[in-house]
């Protein structure tokens, strides 16, 4: 069962989260494997996408954003685009577009950053947008301060968190065919409840890399191996890493309150996309194929529109969607 654990280090400006996606991650992989148009992911792609799925849940829970958190990695290489999306209720979905041959030992640079032009984008799309409000997006390159290629997704996201929030962050991510998991450790901001020792006038960026408590805990967290993260249960991991620290644990989120697979696609959304293409383009597709068929890359569901459906898309009063009763 997939689960998310959150905790604080008592008396210290440090918080942590640990996520394990098993059933949710296995369903994502199973849906991809059953898609006759795509087939299963190559192993290196599946592992990186699993890390992205785990990271998206950690980041969504960390910022408590009322909307979609969308993590994207794209660039040049055999993988065109990778996407993981987490909702406020911790439902998650993920997909990747593979356009070339993937080597068995391929890593992040080999998959999407061959020419060192790859990017990582994190988009926050509010659930209920105000008039004129646009999603917020932050983009960072897949290389470090000296232009060196970053070999792991965790390094990219740590760099992003440092730039966007000016907060020290340590991430450990891993995935295989059964589990996608991640551990996040972060220094708390000085503002609000973490305004320690009357430091309200100081800036968070002044403390980057300088907090001894965070640095000690970060070193312990970074010692967690891929094998341990994927095979050990949460209690064992926390005990092994932080047995000398006093943890304040929150109720874990599991089951329908925890991480799980869910797709937000619907016939109505596909219809809106077709309207965006325009009536002329829709007619051209119908003339060529007899119907318009659109598949969801995340869940594999197929949506079909015949000539009557397509005509109603552009003539129905109020934008009513034909067949909207089957919206998922």
Find tokens 């869910």 and name the residue: 262
Mean pLDDT over 21-43 rounds to: 92
Q: State the chain's mean pLDDT as an integer.
A: 87
- Is the pLDDT at 262 greater than 80, yes or no? yes
Q: Is 116 left (phi over 0), alpha (psi -120 to 50) or beta?
A: left
- Please state, in angstroms and rounded to a whole number, the distance separating the CA atoms of residues 298 and 296: 5
- Share of residues in the chain with pLDDT > 90 (%): 61
* Lowest-confidence pick of 72-76, 96-100, 243-247, 265-269: 265-269
Q: Running DSSP on this structure, what letter comes out for residue 202? A: S
Cβ contacts of 55 within 8 Å, gap of 6 or more: 71, 84, 153, 154, 157, 171, 173, 182
Number of residues in the chain: 328
- Please state, in angstroms and rounded to a whole number, the distance separating the CA atoms of residues 30 and 38: 12
> How high is the pLDDT of residue 317?
52
- Please state, in angstroms and rounded to a whole number, the distance separating the CA atoms of residues 324 and 152: 42
Mean pLDDT over 21-35 rounds to: 94
Token representation of residue 269:
């959304």
- Is the pLDDT at 14 greater than 90, yes or no? yes
For 280-314, the pLDDT digits (tens) are 888 888 888 888 888 888 888 888 888 888 888 88
> How high is the pLDDT of residue 207?
60
Instruction: Answer for the pair 180, 25: CB distance below 8 angstroms, yes or no.
Output: yes
Identify the band that residue 266 occupies on the pLDDT scale cut at 50, 70 and 90. confident
> How high is the pLDDT of residue 321?
41
- Share of residues in the chain with pLDDT > 70 (%): 90
For 304-313, the pLDDT digits (tens) are 888 888 888 8
For 176-223, the pLDDT digits (tens) are 999 999 999 999 886 543 333 444 445 555 566 668 999 999 999 999
Phi then psi for residue 147, to 5 deg, are 85, 5
> How high is the pLDDT of residue 195?
38
Q: Provide the 3-class DSSP secondary structure of residue 106.
A: coil
Mean pLDDT over 140-145 rounds to: 91
Mean pLDDT over 68-84 rounds to: 95
**Residue 133, class by beta-carbon neighbours within 10 Å (0-12 exposed, 13-18 middle, 19+ buried)?**
exposed
Q: pTM (2 decimals)?
A: 0.86
> How high is the pLDDT of residue 316?
54
Token representation of residue 294:
């659109």
Q: Top-level CATH class of 3-261?
A: alpha beta
> How high is the pLDDT of residue 153?
97
Of residues 86, 88, 84, 85, the one with CA closest to residue 64: 88
**Per-domain residue ranges of the chain:** 3-261, 267-326
Phi then psi for residue 227, to 5 deg, are -60, -40
Cβ contacts of 236 within 8 Å, gap of 6 or more: none
> How high is the pLDDT of residue 192?
45
Q: Which residue has the higher pLDDT, 190 or 130?
A: 130
* Lowest-confidence pick of 42-51, 141-150, 184-193: 184-193
Q: Which fold has domain 267-326?
A: CBS domain Like (3.90.1280)
């Amino acid at each position: 069962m997939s689960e998310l654990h959150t905790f604080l280090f008592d008396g210290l400006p440090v918080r942590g989260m640990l996520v394990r996606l098993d059933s949710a991650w296995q369903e994502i992989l199973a849906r991809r494997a059953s898609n006759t148009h795509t087939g299963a992911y190559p192993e290196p792609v599946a592992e990186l996408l699993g890390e992205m799925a785990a990271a998206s849940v950690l980041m969504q829970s960390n910022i408590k954003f009322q909307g979609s958190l969308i993590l994207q990695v794209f660039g040049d290489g055999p993988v065109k685009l990778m996407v993981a999306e987490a909702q406020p209720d911790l439902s998650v979905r993920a997909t990747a577009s593979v356009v070339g041959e993937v080597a068995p030992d391929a890593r992040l640079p080999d998959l999407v950053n061959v020419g060192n032009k790859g990017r990582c984008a994190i988009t926050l799309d509010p659930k209920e947008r105000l008039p004129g409000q646009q999603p917020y997006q932050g983009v960072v390159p897949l290389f470090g301060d000296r232009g060196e290629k970053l070999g792991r997704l965790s390094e990219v996201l740590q760099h992003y968190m440092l730039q966007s929030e000016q907060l020290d962050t340590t991430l450990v991510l891993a995935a295989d065919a059964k589990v996608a998991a991640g551990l996040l450790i972060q220094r708390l901001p000085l503002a609000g409840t973490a305004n320690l020792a009357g430091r309200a006038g100081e800036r968070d960026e002044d403390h980057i890399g300088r907090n001894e408590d965070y640095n000690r805990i970060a070193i312990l967290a970074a010692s967690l191996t891929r094998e341990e993260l994927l095979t050990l249960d949460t209690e064992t991991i926390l005990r092994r890493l932080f047995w000398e620290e006093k943890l304040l644990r929150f109720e874990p989120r599991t089951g329908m309150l925890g991480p799980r697979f869910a797709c937000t696609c619907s016939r109505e959304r596909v219809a809106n996309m077709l309207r965006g293409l325009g009536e002329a383009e829709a007619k051209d597709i119908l003339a060529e194929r007899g119907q318009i068929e659109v598949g969801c890359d995340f869940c594999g569901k197929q949506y079909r529109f015949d000539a009557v459906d397509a005509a109603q898309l552009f003539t129905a009063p109020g934008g009513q969607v034909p067949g909207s009763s089957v919206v998922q």
